[in-house]
Amino acid sequence: MRLFFISIAALKKLCCRLLLLAAIIAAAILLIPKGIRYIEVISHRYHPIYAVETDEKAVALTFDISWGSAMAPKVLKILKDHQVPATFFLSGPWVETHADLAGQILADGHEIASHGHKHVNFSPLSKDQIIDNVMSAHNSIKKTLNVEPSLIRTPNGDFDDEAILTIKELGYLAIDWMIDSLDWKNPGVDAIISRVLKRLQPGAIILMHASDSCKMTDAALPVIIKETRSAGYRFVKVSELLTLGPNNTRIR
């Protein structure tokens, strides 16, 4: 059996390097804004926009819709009553099936964005499949609403480098979120409210849903709006939020 020895000096040098590496990793995590999914940001070279780097107390309220027609009118009424602009990420089939409701979202002055066509993760898809998914939704929205969206949120926020680059090639910006309300889990109204309010920070993008599977969004939304404004924040559409950073700087 062969024995290997290491000098005290070499051991000290190795320990110093390990400590330095640990310090770099810790600093990187601390510099990532609260709420960003650390693993995805670190493991991918390209990733969606989660927030905007700004000192202005502005946040973007966003809603995903893929199915149902009961929750969306409730959300629209609350937004109208409180005069809050929002960005709606709509799936192509939903827009075609609920053209009147999609038209009301647009008529109320909200921003129309894409949530893709099929509600499937993008990372396992080939480039051609991603193109088909994005453009099928794009064409459905254009045909139904005469709007050509330029923002997309991939289903489940899933992505990989190829997905982000393909989306960009198609003239889109991929948008995720800094604050997940978890309303899709129906965890309780107070839990939804608390989760959003505790994570507020300038430039944040807030994820909520107006699909029928989310049963508590309409109950939590008025309190979120009221308390967010009480904290000195204003609500803007995602496209406006993107202009607020220095030289349009975005966290990407």
- Mean pLDDT (the chain) is 87
* Structural domain containing residue 76: 38-251
Verify whether residue 47 is a known catalytic residue.
Answer: no
101 within some domain: yes
Look at the block and give the residue holding tokens 């609403």. 145
Q: Does residue 236 fall inside a structural domain?
A: yes
Instruction: Encode pLDDT of 80-126 as tens digits.
Output: 999 999 999 999 999 999 999 999 999 999 999 999 998 988 899 99
11 C-beta neighbours (distance < 10 Å), count: 10
Provide the number of structural domains found in the chain.
1
Percent of the chain topping pLDDT 70: 80
Position 134 in a domain: yes
Residue 12 is assigned to a structural domain of this protein:
no
37 token code pair: 């999914």
Domain assignment present for residue 232? The answer is: yes
Q: Which residues contact 170 (CB under 8 A, 6 or more apart)?
A: 131, 134, 135, 138
**Which of 64, 160, 176, 218 is the catalytic position?**
64
Identify any residues that bridge with 174 across adjacent strands, giving them in sequence order.
Answer: 152
Residue 152 gets which letter from DSSP? Answer: E
CA distances from 3 to 6, 11, 15, 30 (A): 10, 16, 21, 41
107 vs 164: CA distance, rounded Å: 30
Is 64 among the residues known to form the active site? yes
Q: Is residue 16 part of a domain?
A: no
Burial environment of residue 89 by CB neighbours within 10 A (0 to 12, 13 to 18, 19 or more): buried
Residue 177 has pLDDT above 90, yes or no: yes
The reported pLDDT for the residue numbered 251 is 44
pLDDT of residue 36: 35
What is the average pLDDT across 152-172?
93
Range list of H helices, 32-126: 38-43, 71-82, 92-97, 99-107
Pairing of strands 234-236, 58-65: parallel
- What number of other Cβ atoms are within 10 A of residue 217's Cβ? 24
Q: What is the CATH number of the domain that holds 227?
A: 3.20.20.370
Q: Which residues of 21-40 are buried (b: 16+ CB within 10 A; e: fewer)?
A: eeeeeeeeeeeebebbbeeb
pLDDT band at 79 (very low <50, low <70, confident <90, very high): very high
Q: Which of 98, 180, 209, 218 is catalytic?
A: 209
- Is residue 43 scored above 70 in pLDDT? no
pLDDT at position 178 over 90: yes
Residue 4 forms part of a structural domain: no
Q: Report if residue 238 sits inside a domain.
A: yes
